[in-house]
Amino acid sequence: MTIATSHRIADILTRHEQPILEAWLREQLVALSARQDLISEADLRRQSAEFLALFTSACRSGNITDITAPEWKQSCSNLGNVSRSRATQGFSPSETATFVFSLKQPFFSRLRQELGGDAAGLAEEMWNATVLLDKLGLYTTEVHQKAREEVIKLQQAEMLELSTPVVKLWDGIIALPLIGTLDSGRTNIMMENLLQSIVDTGSDIAIVDITGVPTVDTLVAQYLLKMVAAARLMGAECIICGIRPQIAQTMVHLGVEFGNVVTKASLADALAYAFRQIGCTVSKQTSRS
């Protein structure tokens, strides 16, 4: 039974490939009318034609129920590529799935034309085709989702790279300006960067500026204290600065304490303290008149 139906579907697809493709393209253009900035009609035509050809040959193989089978491998990988490229272009999941689902209408109307006289046969074919296209549509959404997740992961890694610069302020003084929320992953990377910079520059003093940290709760304070303790083990003194008025208040209300770590209100105060520690003095030049 399955063999026979698959032959019928493959047969109809083969005989009417061109008209189905045209109707399918029309459907897609209507569905994507608002997104014509993202993909050109020529690209759409090329993608659709490629997929329809692979889809037809896969149907001809006789298996129209299991898309994980080897006969479907090529169609699936083609569909995966389309889905991935759409995910990176910024299409939404439903717009991506429409690529497959919009094939239903032209295909079904063709089925109706061919099998109009045989009600039972038509119903069965329609059911088979629906199941198959639904599976392919879901597969598209899955790939789309995965591609988006990859994009997010990549962006996160880039953010981590960007957000942890260690700057040398003076001979023996380095600063770590923290920006954004601190979590354990970021703190570890920052700590490694800071400690490596202490080794590389031979610094005695590290200034950690938390002006850009939106909230300081007990967990963030713990991360900072860990950083300070590790820097101290390397022989460098840490100064925490950039504590905003609201942060100071929240810290006291939460009972967060930095213990005997030197804390200053601004980076300028911290730098002045650091200069005193290493025995540098900064003085204004008296005007010679």
Partner 1 sequence: MERIPILKVGEFLLVSIQVDMHDRLAMSLQDDLTAKLVATRAKGVLIDISSLDMVDSFIGRMLGHMAAMAGALGAKAVVVGMQPAVAITIVELGMALTEVRTALNVDKGMALLQSLVAKSCSMDNHDCHEK
Interface residues toward partner 1, by CB under 8 A: 188, 191-192, 195-196, 198-199, 202-204, 226, 229-236
Q: What is the largest CA-CA distance in the chain?
A: 110
Which CB, 116 or 202, lies closer to partner 1? 202
CB of 85 to partner 1, least distance (A): 42
Which CB, 66 or 200, lies closer to partner 1? 200
Cβ neighbours, 10 Å, residue 188: 13
Which CB, 22 or 192, lies closer to partner 1? 192
CB of 181 to partner 1, least distance (A): 21
- Could you please report the per-residue DSSP string of 71-140? GGHHHHHHHHHHHHHHHHHT--HHHHHHHHHTTHHHHHHHHHHHHTT-HHHHHHHHHHHHHHHHHHHHHH
Separation between Cα atoms, residue 66 and residue 91, nearest integer Å: 27
Which CB, 96 or 203, lies closer to partner 1? 203
CB of 216 to partner 1, least distance (A): 19
CB of 230 to partner 1, least distance (A): 4
| Residues in contact with 220: Cβ distance below 8 Å, sequence separation at least 6, in sequence order | 182, 213
Residue 115 token pair: 């099998």
Separation between Cα atoms, residue 150 and residue 158, nearest integer Å: 12
CB of 227 to partner 1, least distance (A): 8
Which CB, 200 or 217, lies closer to partner 1? 200
